[in-house]
């Protein structure tokens, strides 16, 4: 039995949601993904609770330090060990079944360990006082240590944690994906639904793995240099170039921006692969594979350099030419989105839809993703950027992009769940989850964008100015509905039932 299945089996509550099915001979594909998905939901539970603490500290005028601690932990937990790890788990399960290769060996283990140990170390560092927000705000960690706000030990620990998380996202996961796709022998017994690279459902996975590797390399170099200096392996003077704020910030955002784009490519490809399975007339065909692939390529090419929109308000230190370029490329991604909008709606129109909870979660996640894309394009326009940068608009955008992609993966998980666990989920609970999510997700996103439009600063422990508290309260309210939708989802995982129909059918349907 795989060590991953054993860990899942011995984990209280969460283990029950994901106990691995070993009866089908697919444990080699199931075990590590099940463990990763389970761990991601543990982090979601932590992040969700912290999400409520933030507005509570504001409502009851509590300690501002508590606000910044929860802000840092909430963002970090949501973005990496929840969202990315969920994607990694479901994505690896998909790939294993598409190319007929096992998800075993030291690489998946390393990906799991680096992500969770890294996130754990960062959590400890934040609890030790390192309140630097999700974005680290370099050189804030070092400046804070110099000022005596937090200890240098917490900085070293926090950086080590972040470094491990990055190693998982930039190296372990993409290398594992590429290895599974291009190397090793295909095992017919592991093939669930064969796909080639011409298939949009596979193309996006590979494009995104490549994006993570390429866009992450500068940050790996800079990060490794800084880490080596922090641990005294090389003298600080040798790392001086890498500790320059401008070098670190640009390396960070080339990666951070493209990380989001890579995750978007992956989730789009998962949708292109999943939607055809739920078409009412059983055609299993997209309106056009060519259009779907074109959208992915446009998204990839325009997004690579659109990270420049993060530094528009740094003018003239970021030359205007680069900002215009970032502006144009950001709106270029909108063309890719417009094409995918047409492809998805035309597919449903042509073939009809079996509106089951899984595919509905994918689709409403995608609607939220389009809203997020619109908000991102708007704030990437130079004129608007000067009015929105640093406000709740950005927090709303960041939260929404992570939330929308996660919900799409949670929808895709509906499809994988029977193969993973040999059990199926209750459709009634599923449709309640989707309904609550639509209200909570859209409501929270729009409330935060409105706060930004009103000039409400983000990462700011004093909401009670200029009437901004109303946006905080609205976000709190819709956040509670969002929390309820996740609880319903978790409950449906706990209450899943053994599949009564022959397993062969379920596997074939995957």
Partner 1 sequence: MLDFLFSGWGAFWMTLFMLVPFAAIFFYVVHRKSVTDSGPSTTAGAKMSRLEGIWLTVVFVIFVGVNLGSLKYMPTMKAAHAATSNQQLHEIDFSATSWAYDISNRQIEAGSTVRFSGKSKDTMHGFAVYHPDGRMLFTMMLMPGLKNPTTLVHTFNEPGTYKVRCLEYCGIAHHAMQDELVVVKRS
Per CB under 8 A, contacts with partner 1 among 224-283 are 244-246, 249, 280-281, 283
Least separation in angstroms between residue 211's CB and partner 1 is 23
367 binds partner 1 (CB under 8 A): yes
194 binds partner 1 (CB under 8 A): no
Site string for partner 1, 29-68 (x = CB under 8 A): -----------------------------------xx--x
353 binds partner 1 (CB under 8 A): yes
SS3 412: helix
Residues 336-341: contacts with CB under 8 Å, at least 24 apart: 336/295, 336/296, 336/297, 336/298, 336/299, 336/302, 337/295, 337/299, 337/370, 337/373, 339/291, 339/294, 339/295, 339/298, 340/268, 340/292, 340/295, 341/370
Dihedral angle, C-alpha 76, 296, 170, 404, nearest 10 °: 10
What is the rounded CA–CA span in Å between residue 158 and residue 337?
A: 36
Question: What DSSP designation does 19 have?
Answer: P
Least separation in angstroms between residue 269's CB and partner 1 is 20
* Residue found under tokens 């929808």: 411
User: Are 34 and 18 a contacting pair, CB within 8 Å?
Assistant: yes
Find the part of the chain contacting partner 1 (CB under 8 A) among 23-31, 178-186, 328-336, 405-413: 328-336
Least separation in angstroms between residue 184's CB and partner 1 is 40
Question: What DSSP designation does 454 have?
Answer: T
What is the rounded CA–CA span in Å between residue 74 and residue 236?
A: 32
Least separation in angstroms between residue 453's CB and partner 1 is 4
Looking at the Cβ atoms of 447 and 496, the one nearer to partner 1 is 447
Looking at the Cβ atoms of 93 and 389, the one nearer to partner 1 is 389
Question: What DSSP designation does 307 have?
Answer: G
User: Are 36 and 23 a contacting pair, CB within 8 Å?
Assistant: no
Looking at the Cβ atoms of 97 and 332, the one nearer to partner 1 is 332
Burial 65-103 (b: 16+ CB within 10 A, else e): eebbbbbbbbbbbbbbbbbbbbbbbbbbbbbbbbbbbbb
β 497-498/423-424 pair status: antiparallel
* Helix (H), strand (E) at residue 498: strand 497-498
Looking at the Cβ atoms of 58 and 269, the one nearer to partner 1 is 58
Site string for partner 1, 126-155 (x = CB under 8 A): -----xxx-x-xxxx--xx--x-x------
The terminus-to-terminus CA distance of the chain in angstroms comes to 23
Least separation in angstroms between residue 10's CB and partner 1 is 40
Least separation in angstroms between residue 254's CB and partner 1 is 16
Binds partner 1 by CB under 8 A, chosen from 126, 192, 260, 348: 348
Find the part of the chain contacting partner 1 (CB under 8 A) among 27-35, 89-97, 263-271, 340-348: 340-348
341 binds partner 1 (CB under 8 A): yes
Least separation in angstroms between residue 461's CB and partner 1 is 5
* Residue list 307-326, contact with partner 1 (CB under 8 A): 311, 313-317, 320, 323-324
* Residue list 425-464, contact with partner 1 (CB under 8 A): 446, 449-450, 452-455, 457-462
Looking at the Cβ atoms of 195 and 351, the one nearer to partner 1 is 351
User: Are 375 and 400 a contacting pair, CB within 8 Å?
Assistant: yes
Of 133, 148, 137, nearest to 460 by C-alpha is: 133
Total residues at the site for partner 1 (CB under 8 A)?
88
| Sign of the Cα pseudo-torsion (310, 313, 314, 320, in order) | positive
Show the CA angle centred on residue 469, arms to residues 463 and 470, nearest 5°. 155
Least separation in angstroms between residue 324's CB and partner 1 is 8
Of 375, 135, 155, nearest to 256 by C-alpha is: 135
487 binds partner 1 (CB under 8 A): no
Looking at the Cβ atoms of 123 and 375, the one nearer to partner 1 is 375
What is the rounded CA–CA span in Å between residue 88 and residue 91?
A: 5
Least separation in angstroms between residue 305's CB and partner 1 is 16
Which residue(s) pair with 423 in the sheet?
A: 498
352 binds partner 1 (CB under 8 A): yes
Least separation in angstroms between residue 470's CB and partner 1 is 12
Binds partner 1 by CB under 8 A, chosen from 1, 124, 345, 508: 345
Question: What DSSP designation does 84 have?
Answer: I
Least separation in angstroms between residue 85's CB and partner 1 is 25
Which residue(s) pair with 344 in the sheet?
A: none
Looking at the Cβ atoms of 132 and 192, the one nearer to partner 1 is 132
Looking at the Cβ atoms of 231 and 324, the one nearer to partner 1 is 324
Find the part of the chain contacting partner 1 (CB under 8 A) among 197-205, 217-225, 346-354, 401-409: 346-354
Looking at the Cβ atoms of 117 and 355, the one nearer to partner 1 is 355
């Amino acid at each position: 039995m795989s060590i991953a299945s054993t860990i899942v089996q011995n984990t209280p509550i969460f283990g029950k949601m994901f106990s691995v099915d070993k009866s089908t001979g697919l444990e080699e594909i199931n075990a590590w993904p099940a463990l990763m998905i389970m761990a991601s939901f543990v982090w979601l539970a932590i992040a969700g609770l912290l999400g409520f603490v933030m507005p509570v500290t504001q409502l009851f005028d509590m300690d501002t330090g508590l606000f910044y601690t929860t802000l840092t932990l909430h963002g970090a937990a949501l973005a990496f060990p929840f969202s990315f790890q969920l994607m990694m788990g479901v994505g690896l399960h998909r790939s294993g079944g598409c190319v007929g290769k096992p998800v075993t060996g030291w690489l998946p283990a390393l990906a799991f360990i680096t992500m969770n140990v890294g996130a754990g170390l960062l959590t400890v560092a934040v609890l030790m006082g390192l309140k630097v927000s999700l974005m680290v705000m370099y050189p804030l960690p070092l400046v804070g240590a110099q000022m005596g706000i937090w200890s240098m030990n917490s900085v070293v620990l926090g950086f080590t944690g972040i470094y491990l998380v990055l190693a998982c996202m930039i190296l372990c996961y993409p290398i594992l994906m590429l290895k599974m796709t291009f190397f090793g022998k295909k095992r017919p017994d592991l093939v669930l639904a064969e796909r080639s690279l011409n298939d949009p459902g596979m193309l996006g996975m590979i494009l995104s793995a490549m994006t993570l590797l390429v866009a992450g390399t500068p940050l790996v170099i800079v990060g490794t240099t800084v880490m080596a200096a922090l641990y005294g392996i090389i003298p600080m003077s040798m790392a001086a170039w890498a500790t320059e704020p401008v070098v670190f910030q640009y390396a960070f955002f080339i990666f951070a921006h493209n990380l989001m784009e890579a995750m978007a490519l992956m989730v789009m490809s998962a949708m292109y692969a999943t939607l055809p399975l739920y078409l009412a007339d059983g055609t299993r065909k997209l309106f056009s594979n060519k259009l779907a692939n074109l959208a992915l390529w446009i998204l990839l090419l325009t997004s690579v350099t659109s990270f420049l929109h993060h530094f528009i308000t740094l003018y003239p230190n970021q030359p205007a030419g680069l900002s215009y370029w970032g502006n144009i490329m950001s709106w270029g991604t909108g063309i890719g989105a417009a094409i995918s909008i047409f492809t998805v709606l035309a597919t449903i129109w042509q073939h009809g839809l079996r509106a089951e909870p899984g595919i509905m979660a994918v689709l409403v996640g995608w609607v939220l993703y389009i809203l997020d894309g619109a908000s991102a394009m708007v704030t990437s326009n130079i004129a608007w950027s000067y009015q929105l940068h640093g406000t709740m608009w950005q927090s709303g955008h960041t939260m929404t992009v992570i939330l929308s992609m996660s919900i799409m993966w949670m929808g895709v998980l509906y499809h994988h769940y029977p193969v993973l666990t040999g059990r199926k989920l209750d459709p009634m609970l599923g449709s309640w989850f989707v309904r609550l999510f639509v209200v909570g997700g859209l409501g929270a996103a729009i409330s935060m964008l409105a706060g930004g439009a009103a000039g409400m600063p983000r990462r700011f422990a004093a909401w009670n100015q200029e009437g901004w508290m109303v946006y905080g309260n609205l976000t709190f309210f819709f956040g509670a509905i969002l929390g309820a939708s996740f609880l319903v989802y978790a409950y449906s995982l706990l209450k899943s039932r053994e599949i009564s129909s022959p397993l062969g059918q379920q596997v074939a349907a995957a």
